[in-house]
Structure 1
């Protein structure tokens, strides 16, 4: 009776190992999957969570610092050794040795509340809060990069699938040409050289198909790994492929885009962080004041003794002033450097935004030119096919026309892919 259950178990394992059908994803579905499963994004979220814990840790510095200590000891000899002089009549003065505190135990608890610490606690908390904001900006920056890479992989797959469609059309055309040439050879109208030319062209197309199919498989592997899905059943929808929208609707001004860029906001946060670092260096040169309370217990003479106390303490870092002045000057220099880096980042980001917009416009213009080339190549192929069938054009002209048609279709596909990818990059560099 166990054998049927074993067969069912093996069958279930095989079905789970090979997906039943292809999983066709739209571009938006790929983006959502990348947000949920991409490992780079996950690492950025871990960094953000760590910065949140750092902020919470810094907040605890406002609380009193509580410490407790205790101990027990057993000495070989008494810790207090003394001679006690005793006067005895008729014997005079005698020294009697005394040994005390041979064993004992003690314990204490103290709590110190910082009243003034040179603003280091306040500044440290602001720095920690700033670190959390930086973590959020880094996550936003990573999300933009992951989104752009997702779009790149998606449109690579779409372009390769379109190349396969072109190859399908070319193979059908070559098959029809081969049939006509074969009939002409049998009828003695042409030589077998024409048939060999067609077959060579068919073999060339078959070789190109193999390259495109391998490229498509690798691109699907990359996309699947990027968005965290199973590559074996992955496919993408290409309904948005053929008619891309003109780029004008995506344009934003450079100033607006700069304010959105996470990279520029990170440069501004760096300036703010250097200001806080300067305050920290200044705080190291200021005195610190604290108040506290404590409880002390000890038993060293077989008698329990306990007592409470309150105290205040002031610490002045006098020796720190020697090198602290130079550390403060260095912090001021770092602040000026951060401001210079911010201005440089703004200038370079503005150049990047303008350059990317030019690339988007150029890519769209290439699509318009490629469409005209496809129309011309299609008409040229139609005419040469008619001329060949009428016997007024040689086979080489027909094959050349077919080659031009294939190249024009592939050029249009490449232009559409380049436009989609450049548009994805433009969306990233404008902070969207």
Structure 2
């Protein structure tokens, strides 16, 4: 007896320890932390941040350093001068042309630049680059903004997917509860029919009908249990939650608010849509692409400083330091015509981007309107299925009473109860569909 109590206690404790309650909020939180697609979206934002920092460096001066050395096979410069007597001038102009004193000048043989070493450091600061640096940074800002919006859109879409999968699990669990109730009804009915058969009140065929229906439900339960396992595993794949058989999901099907509590006007909803905002950024980027191309046809101005050291590597000459400041203006001429055609091409792309914005704005409004109508329709279906369930339940009660009084057949009672079960499942489906419609409506209205 003690062993039985200890074993039972251990089983209860173990089940409590290893079971894991999962709410919809926890599932979404886990998705944001673990989903691989969202990790890639985050990395794309980081890439765009690096690109923006790279574009900002174009404002700063460019510093370069160079060290070089050379040794020529033959000297690059040679000086050969023969020696001879040079007249010596004694200071008297009368003796300039008839000098009688001379000084001997030896011959000179010099080889220069046969070896050389040196180094230079140059600083170049762009003053004006045809407005290309500023435009390039603006494009980098737009790229970063778009990547952030894409990341946010990916978050919303994957969270919507998570909610649908979570609701799918709840739907199957609710249907399992409904099936359990149906099985309980048949179990009780089987006992009553067995007693009635033994008493000779009803024929054995009624018991066979109930037995056949119970066998059908066993097959349905097997299919339902397999569906529950697969739907849980799919949700775990999306959320990154480790799968185990003890996962417990919080039922939220009863928390249904009317459609009016979610309504927002189409105009406001469109402006909330990240897709609309990215289309606007596309038009803005196309304008900047034109400005960037115009910069190729504008002059550029640069100033700079350079310091260098040269050493001929000979004993007769010492190395020297030197430096200079410089400025330069570059005016492109030959590519003006080419750039003009390229700019016209970019203007065409700008017009296309503006047309895409107008067209997709209309499509987004249609999508929002359809989502709103689907939301209303799903909510109405819940009320209709509730009414049908009340009628089906009453019909079953009447048939059950009639069967006991011998006024109806077993098949009528089983059909009535089957209708109740079907209606219960339709009510569950309508509630799930409504919550999915709410989630989708919030998604397409930018919330």
TM-score, normalisation: structure 1 = 0.91
Distance 1:196 1:99 in 2: 122
For 2:36 and 2:259, locate their aligned partners in 1 and report how far apart those are by CA, in whole Å: 32
Contact kept? 1:83, 1:95, Cα under 8 Å: no
Contact 2:84 2:107 in 1 (8 A): no
Equivalent residue, structure 2, for 1:271: 283
Tell me if structure 2 keeps the 8 A contact 1:224–1:234. Answer: no
Unpaired stretches in structure 2, ≥5 consecutive residues: 1-14, 86-104
Aligned twin of 1:135: 147
Q: Which of 372, 390, 393 is residue 405 of structure 2 equivalent to? A: 390
Shift of 1:75: 3.0
> Aligned match of 2:80 in 81, 84, 108?
84
CA distance in 1, matches of 2:149, 2:166: 26
Q: Which residue is equivalent to 2:379? A: 364
Number of aligned residue pairs: give it.
Answer: 411
Match of 2:20 in 1: 23
8 Å Cα contact 2:117/2:313 also seen in 1: no
Q: How far, CA to CA, are the matches of 2:203 and 2:25 in structure 1?
A: 55
Cα distance between partner residues in 2 of 1:297 and 1:356: 75
Q: Does 1:118 align with 2:114?
A: no
* Structural mapping, 1:250-269, within 5 Å: 250-269=262-281
Task: Work out which of the residue numbers 357, 362, 368 in structure 2 matches 1:342.
Answer: 357
Q: 1:196: how far off?
A: 2.0
Question: What is the alpha-carbon distance in structure 2 between the residues aligned to residue 198 and residue 235 of structure 1?
Answer: 33
In the alignment, does 2:427 pair up with 1:412? Answer: yes
Q: Distance in 1 between matches of 2:352 and 2:45?
A: 26
Paired residue for 2:249?
Answer: 236
Mapped to 2, the partners of 1:274 and 1:95 lie a distance apart of 74
Correspondent of 1:305 among 283, 305, 320: 320
Residue 4 of structure 1: aligned partner: none
Residue 79 of structure 1: how far off its partner (Å): 2.9
2:70 is the alignment partner of 1:73: yes
Q: How does 1:8-407 map to 2 (within 5 A)?
A: 20-80=17-77, 82=78, 84-88=80-84, 98-232=110-244, 233-238=246-251, 240-302=252-314, 303-407=318-422
Q: Following the alignment from structure 2 to structure 1, what is the Cα–Cα distance between the partners of residues 404 and 68?
A: 109
1:21-68 per-position Cα deviation (integer Å, ceiling 9, x unaligned): 221122222222222222222221111121111111111110001111
Q: Which has the larger radius of gyration?
A: 2
Q: Is the 8 A contact 1:48 1:135 kept in 2?
A: yes
SS in 1 for 2:82: strand
Q: Is the 8 A contact 1:220 1:235 kept in 2?
A: no
**CA distance 1:261–1:380, shift in 2 (3 Å):** same
Q: Offset at 1:263?
A: 0.4
Tell me the SS of whatever aligns to 2:293. Answer: helix
Contact preservation (8 Å) 2:178, 2:424: yes
CA contact (8 A) 1:100 1:301 kept: no
Q: Is the 8 A contact 2:289 2:346 kept in 1?
A: yes
Stretches of structure 1 lacking an aligned partner (at least 5 in a row):
1-17
Tell me the secondary structure at the aligned position of residue 354 of structure 2.
helix
